[in-house]
Amino acid sequence: MIKKFYTALFCLLFIFPFSNTQVFAAELTPSEMKEVSRLQQEYAQLDNTTYNHNNLYLNKPRFKNKFKAGTLVPDYLDSQLAYTNYYRKLFNLTPVKENFQDNIAAQKTAAVLAALDANPMVNQHNLPYEKRPKIINKTTWQLARNISSKANLNFNTSDQTAGEVITDLITDRYNLTGADTGHRAWLLSTRLTRTGAGAAYGKNGYRYSVQKVFNPADVFRTPSRETVTYPNRGVFPIELLQGQNIAWSIYFSNKIYAGTPKITITDKDTGVTYQAENVRNYSHTGYGNFETIITYYPGSMPLMVGHEYEVKITGLTNYSFKLFQLQNKSTE
């Protein structure tokens, strides 16, 4: 976690191959420095407990003879909600609330997935490939099918924090269906009001995490924002862009766009412009209750802390952001 915070402007110097040109990173304005410090401090205060079989449950699930979904420790649920709202605040979105009944439904769904040792490498929304075991009654089975189709699902064998589950969903790097960024769209929905969470371990070692995100009434809500971009304009954590298979995206709450725009990204500190790759329009999915969903990849463009980038999406929007390090790994 963060042990000290930025107290000076970025003044990084980069020397590029085959050139003697010196390139200086953009300086943060006083207001940007203040925002970076706030984001780092709030992130440092989030719970960083790693959960496993031994500390995840208040009451453990049972899958032998009689099915019991079990219950999670309150700290896990509180932490997952806190991370969800931290990221939503990063994107200037309104916070969501935890719903008790949604937690129960999500936990039953996670326990069903765990009891099945459901294949983590295939789409498990609505349990399309599974058969109901005798220990699970029809009511619980139907609930699990219903909730799994309205939830973000995350399957992992690592002992993660509750926050790492949310980070996996917002980066969407493990999305089985490709670059549609559906999990991210639901987390950053401009109409989302409430959520519920559940988690359970299967015998196969996977932790099945369920986060309910679709609420029928939300469809008719007035969105809190019209446009959500990833990365967001302003200052943005480089950690949310690092790693394989992280698509960038732009969502519109009400604007309908059916085409495939041309997208360029310019590193304003080097002056080099890059063409976005694999630009796709996933608006037909309706993820997050957005009317328009565009995703793309920045290609081989280097990402550097302190650099400012300008994104131009033809016919839709232009904006800039500066990268900072959310977790300062240096020691005091």
Task: Answer yes or no: do 71 and 187 share one domain.
Answer: yes
Same domain, 52 and 199: yes
Do the Cβ atoms of 37 and 6 come closer than 8 Å?
yes
Nearest-10 Cα torsion for 166, 169, 173, 179 = -160
Provide the domain limits for residue 91.
30-219
Q: Is residue 209 part of a domain?
A: yes
- The total domain count for the chain is 2
Give the closest residue to 110 by CA, choosing from 124, 91, 95: 124
Same domain, 294 and 318: yes
Do residues 133 and 54 share a domain? yes
Helix, strand, coil percentages (3-state) for the chain, rounded to 5, are: 25, 25, 50
- Could you tell me how far CA 317 lies from the centroid of its own chain? 22
Residue 216 DSSP SS3: helix
Q: Which residues of 177-209 are buried (b: 16+ CB within 10 A; e: fewer)?
A: eebbbbbbbbbbbbbbeebbbbbbbbeeebbbb
Q: Are 271 and 245 in a shared domain?
A: yes
Q: Three-state DSSP class for 116?
A: helix
Give one DSSP letter per residue of 217-258, joined into a string. GGGGSPPS-SEEEESPSEEEEGGGT-STT--EEEEESS----
For residues 184 and 256, membership in a common domain is answered with no
Name the DSSP letter for residue 298: -
- Residue 315 inside a domain? The answer is yes
Give the single-character DSSP code of 53: T
Q: CA-to-CA distance for 241 and 223, rounded, in angstroms?
A: 26
Q: Do residue 304 and residue 250 come from a single domain?
A: yes
The CATH number assigned to the domain holding 76 equals 3.40.33.10
Residues 271 and 244 in one domain: yes
Does 205 map to a domain?
Answer: yes
Q: What is the pLDDT of residue 329?
A: 61
CA distance 63 to 207: 15
| Same domain flag for 182 and 274 | no
Last residue of a domain, one of 190, 219, 248: 219
Residue 273 and residue 255 share a domain:
yes
Q: What is the pLDDT along the chain (332 residues), one digit of tens a residue?
A: 333 333 333 333 333 333 344 455 668 899 999 999 999 999 999 999 999 999 999 999 999 989 999 999 999 999 999 999 999 999 999 999 999 999 999 999 999 999 999 999 999 999 999 999 999 999 999 999 999 999 999 999 999 999 999 999 999 999 988 899 999 999 999 999 999 999 999 999 999 999 999 999 999 999 999 999 999 999 999 999 999 999 999 999 999 999 999 999 999 999 999 999 999 999 999 999 999 999 999 988 999 999 999 999 999 999 999 999 998 765 33
Do the Cβ atoms of 133 and 183 come closer than 8 Å?
A: no
User: Do residues 215 and 236 both lie within one domain?
Assistant: no
Residues 209 and 266 placed together within one structural domain of the fold = no
Cβ–Cβ under 8 Å, residues 188 and 40: no
pTM for the model? 0.90
Contact between residue 192 and residue 96 where contact means Cβ atoms under 8 Å apart = yes
User: How many whole angstroms separate alpha carbon 60 and alpha carbon 247?
Assistant: 37
Q: Are 236 and 324 in contact (CB under 8 A)?
A: yes
C-alpha pair distances (Å), 262 with each of 9, 26, 40, 250:
33, 26, 34, 13
Helix (H, G, I), strand (E, B), or coil: what is residue 311?
A: strand
Per-residue model confidence (pLDDT) at position 2 = 35
* pLDDT tens per residue across span 180-219: 999 999 999 999 999 999 999 999 999 999 999 999 999 9
CATH number of the domain within which 300 lies? 2.60.40.1220
Select from 202, 219, 236 the last residue of a domain: 219
Q: For every residue of 23-41, which 3-state class applies, written as one string?
A: EECCCCCHHHHHHHHHHHH
**Predicted pLDDT of residue 225:** 96
Phi, then psi, of 14 in degrees rounded to 5: -125, 130
